Amino acid sequence: SPPAAPAAAPALCPPDDAMDGGAQQSGLREPPGAGGTEQEGDAGEGPPAADLRRSQPLFIQGSSRPPAEEEPRASSLPCIPNPFPELCSPSNSPILSSLPQGPPREGTCHLVKVFSEDGSCRSLEVSAGTTARQLCEMLVQRTHALHDHSWALVELHQHLALERCLEDHESVVEVQSAWPLGADSRFVFRKNFAKYELFKSNASLFPEVMVSSCLEANKSMAHSELIQNFLNSGSCPEVQGFLQLREAGRKVWKRFYFSLRRSGLYYSTKGTSKDPRHLQYFADLTESNIYYVTQGKKHYGTPTEFGFCIKPCKVRSGTKGLKLLCSEDEQSRTCWMAAFRLFKYGMQLYRNYQQAQARLSQPPWIGPTALRSVSDNALVAMDFSGCTGRVIENPSEVLTAALEEAQAWRVSGGVGGSGEPPHIVCSHPLFASHGQKKTTHRYSLPAACQTSPLSAAIHRTQPWFHGRISREDTQQLIGRQGLVDGVFLVRESQRNPKGFVLSLCHLQKVKHYLILPSEEEGRLYFTMDDGQTRFADLIQLVEFHQINRGILPCKLRHYCTCVAL
C-alpha cells in the first residue's frame, strides 16, 4: 500500500472548499503521492468514504463555523450512547415536556389543575382531545355534585383580571398550552347559569335599540325564532351601540359608536355614521377570545364595572394587544357578549345546547339525589284529608284544591295561625300544582310548645346556605355564577344577629330580602312579610318560593353553590 500522508497534508486543502452543515462533502483531495495531480470535485463528487485511507485525516470546513472550531474526528472510534437522552428530546423529558411545544398531540396525557371558588384544587390527567364538558363531568363525578349542564370551566387570568367561560366543545389542553409560562392563569370549576340562557330566555337579550337595523323585517318574531334564523343563515345579530374604548398605550377612555357586522367589529370615527368612509375596522373576532373584566376600575380605570376585553389569540402575556371596552350597563354588556359568541361559534354553540338538553333527559348516572329539592316535573298532588293519602290525577281538581288550601292557609294565619293544618302536603317529592298559583305547605303544623331545635339549624346543611358572607361578596358570587332570574342564596344577616337574608337575582340585579325569626305560643317561625306568611324553618321557606313567587319578583330557580375539590 502507498505510504501515509505527511503531517503537512492539510495545507494542500484550499480554505474555500467546505461542507455545508456537515451533510455534503466538498473539496476532498488525494495526497500528492497518489497520482501527482490534484483532483477537485464539487459537493457530492468526491471519492467515497470507503476509498479514503484511515491514516489520512480529513478536514471538512463547515460554512456556519469558523475553521478554528473544526477538529478531526476518527471514524474508527466507537459510538458512545447519550446517557441523558431526555435532555435532548423534549417529548421524553418530564421537565421540558411541560413547556409549550405547539399544538397538543393526540394520544398523549396531560396534567390539568382545576381550582374551586373556595381555593381548593384537584389535578387531573386528561388526553389532548378532552373537552371542557368532559372535564366538568369528571369533576362532577369525583366531587359527588348534582349533575346538570350549568357546571362550567372558567379560564381565569388573575394578573390581567380577565375571565371567560369555556364552551363545551373547546379543548382544555389546547387552551392551557396557550398560557404564558409563569403567569397566574388557572381553570376554575363553578356554576354558570347564564351559559345557555341565550337559547331559552323568553325575553330577548337583544334590545331593539341595539339591533333595530336587523329586526325591521322580523319585529313579530319571538326571541327563539330570531336566534334560529341567525343560526340557519350563518349570520349574527348586527349589534350597534356606544361603548367606551381605551386608547392603546394610554389610560384615556373615549366613547365611540360600534357596529358588529359579518366581516367583524367596527367603530365610527364620526358620531353614529355608518358610512364606510367613517367605519374603522377594530377586531377580528374569529381569531380572538372575549373576556369579562372582573376588576376593571382597579386594573384599567374603566368608567363603569361593565367592562369586557377582546384578546387576540396571538397575545400570550401582558396588556399589550388587549382591546379593552366598557358598556354603560349589564344589559348592554350581556347583549354584546351574546352576539360575540354567536359570531364566533354559530351553530356549534346551538349544538352544545342541544347535547346538554339531551343529557338532562337521560337518567342521572352520577351524583346523589337532590336533598329535599323541588322540581315541577318530579312532583304530584296528593290529598291527605282522609285516613290515607291519595294522588290527585285530575288537573282541575288539583287547581281547585290548591286554591282552597291557599285561601284557608292565609285566613288561618299560616303556620302561626289557629286554623286547621293544610291537607295538601308537599311530601318530597310528591307535590305539584298544575295551576298558575301554587300555594302549599310542606308539612302539617307543629303542635304548640313542641318547637324543635333542629328547625333553627337544619338550613346549615343545605347547599344554598352560605353562612356569614358580606353583601358585596354575595353580589360578586351571584354575578360570577350568572345574572339570571331566580339565582339565589341564603346567608346570615350582618345587621341583625338573629336574622337571615335571601339574596335573589332579578332583571340582572341582585336584591336582598330580610328573613326574621319570631316565636308565638311556643312556636318558632320565619317570615319575610311581617308575619303574613310564616314558615317553620328556612328549608320550608325556600321550597315554598321555588313553587310560588309570593312577595318575590320571581320564583327561586337556581341556588348558588360552591364545591370543594
- Residue with the bigger pLDDT between 250 and 16: it is 250
Residue 217: the pLDDT is: 54
Q: What is the pLDDT of residue 521?
A: 81
With 70 as the cut, is the pLDDT of residue 14 above it? no
Highest mean pLDDT among 157-171, 211-225, 368-382: 157-171
Look at 265 and 106; give whichever has higher pLDDT: 265
Q: What is the pLDDT of residue 224?
A: 64
pLDDT value at residue 438: 38
Which three cell numbers mark 418? 289557629
- Which of residues 10 and 512 earns the better pLDDT score? 512
Question: Which class is domain 203-355?
Answer: mainly beta
This model's pTM is above 0.75: no
- In sequence order, which ranges of 422-551 are alpha helices (DSSP H)? 471-480, 538-547
Beta bridge partners of 535: 526
Q: Which of 235, 253, 252 is nearest to 244 (CA)?
A: 253
pLDDT of residue 81: 66
Q: Under a CB-based contact definition with an 8 Å cutoff, are residues 293 and 300 in contact?
A: yes
- CB contact at 8 A, 308 and 290: yes
Judged against a pLDDT cut of 90, whether residue 74 lies above it is answered with no
Distance, CA of 427 to CA of 400 (rounded, Å)? 19
| Distance in angstroms (rounded) separating the CA atoms of residues 162 and 534 | 44
363-385 pLDDT, tens digit each: 554 444 444 444 444 456 666 66
Is 543:464 a contact under the CB 8 Å cutoff? no
**Segments in 77-207 forming alpha helices (H):** 132-143, 172-177, 197-200
Contact of 93 with 86, CB cutoff 8 Å: yes
Which CATH number is associated with domain 108-191? 3.10.20.90
Please state, for a pLDDT cut of 90, what percent of the chain lies above it.
38
H helical segments located in 346-422? 347-361, 395-412
**CB neighbour burial string for 423-453, b if at least 16 within 10 angstroms, e if fewer:** bbbbebbebbbbbeebbbbbeebbeeeebee
pLDDT of residue 377: 43
d(CA 89, CA 105): 15
Cell matching residue 267 = 367603530
Domain ranges of the chain: 1-44+57-66, 108-191, 203-355, 369-445, 458-565
Which CATH fold would you assign to the domain 458-565?
Answer: SHC Adaptor Protein (3.30.505)
Cα–Cα distance, 226 to 61 (Å, whole number): 72
